[in-house]
Chains A and B, each alone.
Chain A
Amino acid sequence: MVEKEIKKGWSRNEMAQKVALDIPDGAYVNLGIGIPELVADYVPEGREVIYHTENGLLGMGPAPEKGQEDPELINAGKKNITTIKGACFFHHADSFTMIRGKHIDICVLGAFEVSEKGDLANWSTGEPDAVPAVGGAMDLVAGVKNILVITQHTTKSGKPKIVENCTYPLTGKGVVNRIYTDLAIIDITEEELVIKELAPGISFDYVQERTGAKLRMS
C-alpha cells in the first residue's frame, strides 16, 4: 500500500484567517479574485473594514441569498454581491483614482511567482497562444500602499513560487510587502525574506527546501 502523504501546513481558510488578523480596524481593502476573497469571512469581530471592488463600489457586502441576485450588482470577479449600509457607487475613473492615488490601504492578491525583491507575477504565464488579460492587477500593485500575497507555497507539481527572480512576465517590480502561504508568513524587507511565522509542525528547513530564494528566521 502506498503511504498517502499527509497534507501539512495551513488550509486555504486558515491562510485567509491569518491575512484577516493583519487587517486593522478602519482599513479600506481590495481583495483579488480567488483565495483572497475568503479573507472577508474571517475579519475579527469589532473591526470595521470597508471593501473596495474596482468595478465601482466601496462597501461590498457578502453574496446575496439565492433568488436575490441582481445582475447589475457584481464584484470585480463578476460575482453577485450585496452592499453594506454606507456603501457608495462610482464610475471607473474614480474607482481607479482610489487605487492609483494611493487611497486604498491594503490589497490582497494571488500569485504565480513572487521574487525575493518583492516583484510579483500574477497576470500572464507568457504562453504565446494564450489570450493575455490583465484587468486591474497592475494598477493595484502600483497604487495600493500595502500589497499582501496569499498563495500556496509551491505549484501543484511542487515548483517553488517564491523565487530569486520571476520567470513569468511581471505585474509590478518591488511591490509585495508580505506573503502568506500554506507553510509560512514571510516578510519581504529591503535586504531579505524573513519568516515571521511557521505553520504548526512545519520546520524552517522544510520551508527553505521548497523556496527558490534564501530565507531567514525572524
Chain B
Amino acid sequence: MINKIVESTSEAVKDIFDGAVIMISGFGEAGSPIELIHALIDQGAKDLTVISNNTGSGHVGLAALIECKKVRKMVCSFPRTANSTVFPELYSKGEIELELVPQGTLAERIRSGGAGIPAFYTSTSVNTPLAEGKEIRVFDNTQYVMEYGIKADFSLIKCEAADRHGNLIYNKTARNFGPIMCTAGEKTIVQAKRIVELGEIDPESIVTPGIFVNSVVEVSNPADESKLVKENRRYPW
C-alpha cells in the first residue's frame, strides 16, 4: 500500500543532511511552509543551499533558518522585502552567499530540473550584468543566454489539501513555486492544511500528481507569518 503520510513535521524532515540543497516554496509568506522550516531548524542540518524566491521576513520561517546560520547560500530573485532584515545584514557582512536569478529564469530552471532538461536558452537578462560570463547564442536574429536546470536534494512545500498518494491542491496565490518545486526535489516533503481520503480531490482538479511527492504531513493551523512578524516573534520560540 502506498502511504506517504507521516505523523509529524520532525519525522518529515529527519533525513535532511548537512550541505543539502533545499527548495522552499512561497512568494513572500504566501505558500511558505513555516512549520517544516521550523522543524528543520530544530533538526539542525546546516551548510544548506536554499532555493526560494525571497529570504523571509522578521525572525520566523525562512528568515529564522538564515538567522540560525544554517544557510550557506541563497538562490533567489528578490532577497529583500518589507521586514526583511536578517539576510541583508548577513549579506553585507559577507557571511552568506547570494546567487541572484531573474524570477522567470528561476521558475524555468526549476521546471527544467524537474523535467530532466539540463539547460535552456532565454532572452531574459541578455545585455545585463546577470548574463555576464554565460554562453550567448543567436536564434532567429535574437540573442539568448544559456541557463542551467536546477534540482534539489529536498523540496519543502506548503499546500491546501493532500491525500495519501501525495496528490495536491493549493490555495490561491500560495500555489506559486509549489508545483514546480515538487517536480525538482529528489525528496519532496509537503505540509498540507488538510489530509483527505483518496478520491476526495477531483482528478480533474489535482494540481500536483502524487508521483512528485514523497511525504505529506498535516499542519491544520499553519502560522500566519505577517502576524508573527507584527508581534515581533522569533524562532526558536
- Residues of chain A whose beta carbon lies under 8 Å from any beta carbon of chain B: 53-57, 70-75, 78, 83, 89-93, 95-96, 99-100, 124, 129, 131-139, 142-143, 169-173
Contact = CB atoms under 8 A, between A and B. Distances in A.
B111 interface: yes
B123 A74 contact: no
Given A129-B92, A134-B102, A136-B77, A72 B126 contact: no
Q: Top 4 nearest A-B pairs by Cβ distance?
A: A139-B104, A96-B104, A92-B107, A72-B174
B179 interface: yes
A138 B28 contact: no
Contact of B103 (A54, A71, A91, A131): A54
B10 interface: no
B188 to A, nearest CB: 14
Nearest to A54: B103
Nearest to B183: A93
Interface string B167-185: 0001111111111100000
A111 to B, nearest CB: 15
A75 to B, nearest CB: 8
14 contacts: A53-B173, A54-B104, A55-B27, A56-B27, A72-B30, A72-B172, A89-B172, A91-B180, A92-B176, A93-B107, A131-B80, A131-B88, A139-B104, A172-B126
Interface stretch (B12-20, B62-70, B127-135, B209-217): B127-135
Contact of B128 (A53, A136, A170): A170
Interface string B52-74: 00000000000000000000000
A78 B82 contact: yes
A124 B128 CA distance: 11
A93 B110 contact: yes
For chain B, the bracket of interface size reads 35 or more
B122 to A, nearest CB: 6
A131 B91 contact: yes
Contact of B28 (A78, A92, A134, A170): A78
A16 to B, nearest CB: 23
B33 to A, nearest CB: 13
Given A92-B107, A143-B124, A169-B129, A70 B172 contact: yes
Nearest to B207: A91
B175 A133 contact: no
A55 B178 CA distance: 11
Contacts of A72: 30-31, 171-174
B105 interface: yes
Contacts of B87: 131
B163 interface: no
